[in-house]
Amino acid sequence: MYPLKFKPILKERLWGGTKLKDVLGKPIDSDITGESWELSGVQGDISEVANGPLEGISLKELIVDHGEKLLGKSVVERFGTEFPILIKFIDAKQDLSIQLHPNDDLAKERHNSFGKTEMWYIMDADPGAKLIVGFNKNVEKEEYIHSLEKGTLLELMNYEEISEGDTFFINTGKIHAIGAGTLLAEIQQTSDITYRVYDFDRKDKNGNLRELHTSLAVDAIDYELKDDFKVAYANKKDVVNTMVDCPYFKTNFLDLDGDLYQDISKRDSFTIYMCVGGEATISNDWGSAAIKRGETILIPACSSNVNINTHGAKLLEVTI
């Protein structure tokens, strides 16, 4: 139960670019890779261990074989053998579609899936890069439908300028889009359910417009104007800074100039470290693994401590 690294699952996307390769060093030949799935339990895209004696073993096999030792007792009680979160790095060379995700109840009813609450940490942003997050005013359902029919949806959108370190929490029902020129880390519920409502009339490589989910989205959207998405968090050096604490995941920010030791014996959950800057070596009771910007490590729940050795690293620490 040493610190586990996993093979990235790389996804070409219409809007993808080369930053996952050029900036984060992912093993990519394509010029349109948009996503690196770092840790996934999504059916058909199950992560495999990349280091140590367990190399080649799937995350699903690890959960079946090690259960509570890997995930934690409370996590197994809630999710069984399902891994509850999906960890990604995303490179948007072009704007992503305007979309939203259903809540747990709607996703269960329609797709037998979890909903998709997510958060973004901005790792790099080109000058002028923006996100779309929510509406710029309270909107009636009929007004939204009319804007789709007239092609004026963009006039209702709220635009947020971004820079490195900005963090956003995207709850279910909130309409959103990642803008061109953005490299980010994403933490989300394990779900691939997305309702795409506008795609800038783009065509895929075969000349086809991508599918829209207009009717499904109408009853899933939160039409109310809410300023609840920009995460304000402390950024104190060499300590654990809370970013997001929601029912689906907890994320802390670690900006380290030196070593950090943590007793995690009472933490009834696995711990994930996403490196968003610098490099470090992360150790637990049974071993260690090196991590650099753009890499991810899973610390099993049975670990009693974690020791981070570094001369400079920025890490997202994720637990359930």
Catalytic residue status for 196? yes
Set 13, 78, 110, 196: catalytic member? 196
- Any idea what DSSP says for residue 240? -
Cβ(315)–Cβ(276) below 8 Å: yes
Q: Among 8, 184, 37, 171, which residue's Cα sits nearest to residue 96? A: 184
Strand, coil or helix: 224: coil
Going along 270-320, which residue ranges are E strands? Answer: 271-284, 287-292, 296-299, 305-319
Q: Among 193, 204, 61, 183, which residue's Cα sits nearest to residue 122? A: 183
Encoded tokens for 305: 């401590």
Cβ(223)–Cβ(173) below 8 Å: no
Q: What DSSP element (H or E) covers 108?
A: helix 104-111
DSSP 114-137: ----EEEEEEEE-TT-EEEEEESS
For the chain, the farthest-separated pair of C-alpha atoms sits apart, in whole angstroms, at 60
Active site residues: 196
